[in-house]
Chain A
Amino acid sequence: MPANIRHRTLATTSTPRPLLLKLAGLAVLACLVSGCLTACQPTLECGNWTFTGTPNTSASPKDSFPLSSSFVFNPANCGKQCQCTTDAMIQMVRVYDVDEQMFLAGEGESTEWSDANGWMIDQQPLIGWASGYYGQNNDGTFDPTYNVVGSNGTPNTLNDAPGGWGPSTIFYAVDVAVCVNSDRQGGCDNRILGYYFWSWVVDSNGVGQKFIIAPAWKDLDTEFQSAVAAWNKWAPTSGPVGGGSTGQISEPHAFPFPTLSDL
Chain B
Amino acid sequence: MKPQTAIGMISILACLCAAGCSKAKREETPEQTQLKTQLDQQEKQAAQTAQTYHAMDNAALIGKLQEQSARKREPFNSLAYRELVTRKDVDSKALASIVNEKKNGDAILPLLLLKKLDEKSYMQIPAAVRSNVLTDALEQSKTFNMWGIPNFYLEDASNALLESGQSAYPNLRRMLSETRPAPVYGSKAYMVYMRYQFRLCDYALFYLKRMQGDANFTLPVSVADRDALIKPMLK
Contacts and interface: CB of A to CB of B under 8 A. Distances in A.
B99 to A, nearest CB: 21
Contacts of A128: 152
Nearest to A5: B17
B84 to A, nearest CB: 15
Interface in A132-149: 145-146
Given A43-B26, A107-B186, A245-B151, A212 B77 contact: no
A233 interface: no
Q: Bin chain B's interface residue count.
A: 35 or more
B79 A219 contact: no
Contacts of A24: 3, 6-7, 10
Interface string A111-129: 1000001100011101110
A106 B77 CA distance: 9
Contacts of B39: 117, 172
Contacts, number: 163
B10 A108 contact: no
A253 to B, nearest CB: 15
A89 to B, nearest CB: 13
Interface stretch (B46-54, B130-138, B160-168): B46-54
A212 B36 CA distance: 13
Contact of B187 (A12, A106, A218): A106
Contacts of B57: none
B35 A107 contact: no
Interface stretch (A15-23, A46-54, A68-76, A182-190): A15-23
A96 B41 CA distance: 11
B155 A122 contact: no
A100 B148 contact: no
Q: Bin chain A's interface residue count.
A: 35 or more
Interface stretch (A29-37, A79-87, A255-263): A29-37
B79 A100 contact: yes
B148 A107 contact: yes
Contact of B50 (A102, A160, A166, A199): A102
A244 B183 CA distance: 22
B191 A161 contact: yes
Interface in B152-194: 152-153, 155-156, 181, 183-194
Contacts of B46: 96, 101-103, 118
Given A101-B46, A102-B49, A122-B188, A164 B143 contact: yes
A165 interface: yes
A107 B194 contact: no
B21 A108 contact: no
Given A36-B21, A212-B35, A214-B31, A127 B14 contact: no
A71 to B, nearest CB: 18
A231 to B, nearest CB: 15
Contacts of B140: none
Interface string A1-13: 1100100010010
B186 A40 contact: no
B190 A161 contact: yes
A106 B145 contact: yes
B11 interface: yes
Interface in B94-147: 143, 145
Contacts of A40: 20-21, 24-25
Interface of B: 3, 6-7, 10-11, 13-14, 17-18, 20-22, 24-26, 28-29, 31-32, 35-36, 38-39, 42-43, 45-46, 48-50, 74-77, 79, 143, 145, 148-149, 151-153, 155-156, 181, 183-194, 218
24 contacts: A5-B17, A18-B3, A24-B10, A25-B6, A42-B24, A42-B26, A61-B183, A93-B187, A96-B46, A101-B45, A101-B48, A105-B76, A107-B76, A108-B75, A126-B148, A126-B152, A164-B143, A164-B193, A166-B143, A212-B31, A214-B35, A218-B25, A245-B218, A246-B152
